[in-house]
Amino acid sequence: MRVHIATDHAGMDLSSHLIAHLAGKGYDVVDHGPREYDAEDDYPAFCINAAEAVVRDQEAGTEALGIVLGGSGNGEQIAANKVRGVRAALAWNLETAKLARQHNDANIVAVGGRQHSVEEATGIIEAFLAEPFSDAERHVRRIAQIARYETTGSTR
């Protein structure tokens, strides 16, 4: 599986850890930046680039998910969700990470690097990446409503 990752300055240490950790587990990890620490960085471009790459890969038939990191993960999730086809979920524990995949077929997880230890955040990310979508009819139906709204402005 390909994993696209982006961060802001507050998530750089966690991002570096995850890139090495996930590559060591066999994931094809693509780093969308930033490449160096800048406390004044503008994270939206990094997160949007990662989100666009996830959608592009998925549309091409490549199994791909994304990770966006920040201090809280909120702004990064918001930025990623501006990309058509993205369902980014903020996960703060194992259960929310799993449910994001099971029920929402989330294709990007947002995690706050200042909210968790490296070990906790790594566990949340691993839970997200490992969990399959349930394919339950009610979830498929709801995701389709969201996608329709995204393209037509209506859920019907």
- The closest of 118, 116, 70, 82 to 96, measured between CA atoms, is 116
Which tokens belong to 87?
């369902």
DSSP structural state of residue 61 = T
- Catalytic pick among 4, 32, 52, 76: 76
> Mutual orientation of helices 12-24 and 118-130 as an angle, nearest 10°?
50
C-alpha distances out from residue 103 to 10, 141, 146, Å: 29, 11, 13
76 part of the active site:
yes
Question: From the candidates 21, 103, 120, 126, which is the catalytic residue?
Answer: 103
Say which residues have a Cβ less than 8 Å from residue 148's Cβ, sequence separation at least 6: 154, 155, 156
DSSP 8-state secondary structure symbol assigned to residue 33: S
Residues with active-site annotation: 76, 103
